[in-house]
Amino acid sequence: MRSAIRNTEIIREDEAVLPVVSREVQYSFSVYEALRIINGHVVHLDDHLRRLAASCRDISLVHGFSDDDIQSSLERLIEKDSIKDATARIFIVGGPSPLLFITYADLLSYPDSYYTDGIDVTLYEGERFMPQAKTSNLLMQYIALEEARKKGAFEALLVNRKGEVLEGTRSNFYALSGSKLYTAGDESVLSGVTRISVLKAAEELGLEVIYTPPLASSLSSYDSLFISSTSMAALPVRKVDGIDMDRKQWPIIRKIKDMVRAWE
Amino acid sequence: MRSAIRNTEIIREDEAVLPVVSREVQYSFSVYEALRIINGHVVHLDDHLRRLAASCRDISLVHGFSDDDIQSSLERLIEKDSIKDATARIFIVGGPSPLLFITYADLLSYPDSYYTDGIDVTLYEGERFMPQAKTSNLLMQYIALEEARKKGAFEALLVNRKGEVLEGTRSNFYALSGSKLYTAGDESVLSGVTRISVLKAAEELGLEVIYTPPLASSLSSYDSLFISSTSMAALPVRKVDGIDMDRKQWPIIRKIKDMVRAWE
């Protein structure tokens, strides 16, 4: 059985449990981060810890675990189970007795065909509460993704009341048009750790980043669309709600993906 | 130690736990009900079971626990621990292996002064996702209530983008004006089990129920305001954001409260 961390101590994975009677568990008053461990090395740990702290600040979740506590716990877990490649999850529940858990699973990765053939997405009308905080209030994302999967799609993109496509249920979203890359402003979406790399890669490739979210009604007018996340890096979008999108700039998306992975 | 129920089996309360690695736990894909047990009798169990089923339907949560399973589990728990008065909680997590828990705590009740002197509330701008479903996605409610408590208030009322006061974080909301009772329509708020009794009592008292939510900007123009919930029955509102409200119809609110409790 795998090991895990509870409050900086090593435990068995099946001991990583939450009490049903805890008010904070009942109210989903918790934050998390999902990280890649590659060859025993935690990718972009500082960025993840920074975002974790920002999520806590946003929802006023106070806990006593320092960045050093979390980092050393994670390192201890990697050593204990001789972890090479994995997707790890840091999870903190707030309240009078905050709980820290670190668990891990097989490295989440996708077939090469997703990168060469693209993936299909659906649109879902819904707005996140506190979009910049990475919390466990993910019911909308769960439902939107289930609906997408029922239609054979890989991801659902969330559309706000203005008809703007802001982000996916577990990804950030971008549209390319000529030398311009369009994406929602930082204030309205989750500040993805991989998004930072994507935008840096785009600039290095000479693209101008424009913080205006694409409209759902005009997606087929762009040269190409893609999504990003820690697990995906950058994945080109083939179809939106069953409609073929342009593939003109897929080579650029491939370059962005390679740069994102190279910076790990 | 108290007992609890997991999947219709009696367990110790400290065994009522959720695995951190479950995707449904991580996404808060779960529903719940809070019920009163008075003198060993479960109050309005049928209404609660009906709403639980409605919540599951709303979010497409499929589980194999029948109403009979839940009712007989609850009865077994009451017998096992010789429960007289308590607040019980039914909690179901969805996914490939759904989990049912029933736990209980001391009966949640409020001092008489809350009913005679009223309670203070604050306003919080925010809209619930899927307002009719009673799910664990309660982060907004948690944050709104924390802010209210910091200001010395008892409850926060949620105000939508139109400036309408729809409901509290754990209560329904009403405004009285002459012989009229104003409250949000069923489609935009949680269909409170006690709300059903409140509206029935209002009609028996000759009040006309108008399904139009009061505007936040005009609360002081009403004769009286109150909130309701399973634990509160009906509580008069003394102040909103520090401003005194009219108390003209508090005797009516008291009558409604007595009728709601008499129907238990």
The reply to whether B149 and B99 lie within a common domain is: no
Mean pLDDT of A85-107: 98
Q: Is residue B211's pLDDT more than 90? A: yes
Look up the ipTM and state it.
Answer: 0.95
A16 touches chain B (CB under 8 A): yes
The reply to whether A125 and A214 lie within a common domain is: yes
Closest to B225 (Cα-Cα) out of B177, B188, B190:
B177
Ranges of beta strands (E only) in chain A are: 3-6, 9-12, 17-19, 30-38, 41-42, 86-93, 99-106, 119-125, 155-159, 165-168, 172-177, 180-182, 208-210, 224-229, 233-240, 243-244
Through-space distance between the first and last CA atoms of chain B, rounded to whole angstroms:
28
Q: Which residue of B has its CA nearest to A102?
A: B20
- The confidence score (pLDDT) of residue A42 equals 97
Beta-carbon contacts of residue A153 (< 8 Å; ≥ 6 apart): A119, A120, A121, A122, A239
**Residue entry with tokens 């999520």:** A55
Per DSSP, the three-state class of B168 is strand
* Residue A201, both tokens: 């890669």
Give CA separation, B188 vs A78, B90, B133, B192, B226, in Å: 48, 23, 10, 12, 18
The reply to whether B190 and B78 lie within a common domain is: no
Q: Is residue B192's pLDDT more than 90? A: no
The reply to whether A118 and A102 lie within a common domain is: no
Min Cα–Cα distance to chain A from B6, Å: 11
Q: What is the pLDDT of residues B50-60, one digit of tens each?
A: 999 999 999 99
A168: which strand partners? A157
- The confidence score (pLDDT) of residue B56 equals 98
Q: What is the pLDDT of residues A211-248, one digit of tens each?
A: 999 999 999 999 999 999 999 999 999 999 999 999 99
pTM of the predicted model, to two decimals? Answer: 0.95
Q: Name the band, by pLDDT with cuts 50, 70 and 90, for residue B191.
A: confident
Mean pLDDT of A31-45: 97
The reply to whether A178 and A73 lie within a common domain is: no
- The confidence score (pLDDT) of residue B74 equals 98
Domain boundary among B63, B91, B106: B106
In this structure, the strands spanning B119-125 and B233-240 are parallel
A141 touches chain B (CB under 8 A): yes
The reply to whether A128 and A258 lie within a common domain is: yes
Closest to A142 (Cα-Cα) out of B54, B140, B28, B126:
B28
> How buried is A155 (Cβ within 10 angstroms: 0-12 exposed, 13-18 middle, 19+ buried)?
buried
Query: What percentage of residues in chain A have a pLDDT greater than 70?
Result: 100
The reply to whether A52 and A34 lie within a common domain is: yes
Per the structure, the complete domain to which residue B254 belongs is given by 112-262
Indicate which CATH number applies to the domain containing A128: 3.20.10.10
A29 and B105 within 8 Å at the Cβ level: the answer is no
* Residue A187, both tokens: 């204030």
Min Cα–Cα distance to chain B from A28, Å: 6
Q: Which positions in chain A touch B141 (Cβ < 8 Å)?
A: 27
Which candidate in B142, B158, B161, B170 is best for mutational testing of the A interface (most A CBs within 10 A)? Answer: B142
- How far apart (Å, rounded) are the C-alpha atoms in residues B141 and B146? 8
* Residue B38, both tokens: 């008075």
**Residue entry with tokens 């890359």:** A181
Domain boundary among B82, B106, B130: B106
DSSP letter (8 states) at residue B96: S
The reply to whether A54 and A166 lie within a common domain is: no
The reply to whether A196 and A120 lie within a common domain is: yes
- The confidence score (pLDDT) of residue A146 equals 97
Q: What is the pLDDT of residues B215-252, one digit of tens each?
A: 999 999 999 999 999 999 999 999 999 999 999 999 99
Q: Which positions in chain B touch A92 (Cβ < 8 Å)?
A: none
- The confidence score (pLDDT) of residue A226 equals 98
Indicate which CATH number applies to the domain containing A87: 3.30.470.10
A130 touches chain B (CB under 8 A): yes
- The confidence score (pLDDT) of residue B94 equals 98
The reply to whether B116 and B97 lie within a common domain is: no
B87 with B231: CB under 8 angstroms?
yes
Q: Choose the closest CB to B28 out of A4, A16, A28.
A: A28
B226 with B236: CB under 8 angstroms?
yes
Min Cα–Cα distance to chain B from A133, Å: 11
Per DSSP, the three-state class of B200 is helix
Taking residue A261's Cβ as centre, other Cβ atoms within 10 Å add up to 14
Closest to B37 (Cα-Cα) out of B99, B109, B119, B130:
B109
A135 and B130 within 8 Å at the Cβ level: the answer is no
Number of domains in chain A: 2
Q: What is the pLDDT of residues A105-164, one digit of tens each?
A: 999 999 999 999 999 999 999 999 999 999 999 999 999 999 999 999 999 999 999 999
Min Cα–Cα distance to chain A from B249, Å: 34
The reply to whether B230 and B206 lie within a common domain is: yes
Domain boundary among A53, A74, A106: A106
Mean pLDDT of A17-29: 97
Query: What percentage of residues in chain A have a pLDDT greater than 90?
Result: 98
The reply to whether B92 and B132 lie within a common domain is: no
Q: Name the band, by pLDDT with cuts 50, 70 and 90, for residue A191.
A: confident
B139 touches chain A (CB under 8 A): yes
Q: Which residue of A has its CA nearest to B13?
A: A21
B145 with B170: CB under 8 angstroms?
yes
Q: Is residue A192's pLDDT more than 90? A: no
